Amino acid sequence: MTHDDPFARRERVAQRGLWYEELRTDVVYAHAPGRTITEADNVLFTTLTMNAQALHLDAAWSAGSDFGERLVNSMLTLSTVVGLSVAQLTQGTLVANLGLTDVAFPHPVRIGDTLSAETAVTAKRPSRSHVGTGIVTLAHRGLNQDGELVVAATRTTMVRMRPA
């Protein structure tokens, strides 16, 4: 008995980000799924980055702070929100991050919060110094499970153009 191989002779579609030409300035890219930030995430990130801030690590000290509990490291918040965009926008098409500006953390993130992210392309142009690439400015924002804005940032990137 012969059995057709469902993987033979079929077009392959690999997951990737968008080429420079595919990035649009007239849409908002909503990234899914979101990410729930755990205590382990916060402790690991905070200790890996040598950030000994008691507000992130010491429950007893943080209980007496203005927030009454430990908060998630804001750099973890920023990294997670940018990371949520990668599969949809820049996986395999990003050449480099060129800079971050206008970073703001308007609302604290607590352990157990679930972050979602969305991105708008605010500007794009062909690179003047690197053939086959473009400079793309991305406005990222992260929201918690209650829809509160927890981080906003502008990221400038270099992205590959579609191969010929």
Burial 94-113 (b: 16+ CB within 10 A, else e): bbeeeeeeeeebebbbbbeb
Q: What is the pLDDT of residues 48-58, one digit of tens each?
A: 999 999 999 99
For tokens 């990371």, name the residue: 83
Write the single-letter amino acid at 127. Answer: S
CATH architecture of 20-37+77-160: Roll (3.10)
**pTM for the structure as a whole:** 0.91
Farthest CA pair distance, the chain: 72
| Residue pair 127/135 in contact by the 8 Å Cβ criterion | yes
Say how far apart CA 137 and CA 122 lie, in whole Å.
Answer: 6
Q: What is the pLDDT along the chain (164 residues), one digit of tens a residue?
A: 557 888 888 888 788 999 999 999 999 999 999 999 999 999 999 999 999 999 999 999 999 999 999 999 999 999 999 999 999 999 999 999 999 999 999 999 999 999 999 999 999 999 999 999 999 999 999 999 999 999 999 999 999 999 98
- CB atoms < 10 A from the CB of 92, how many? 13
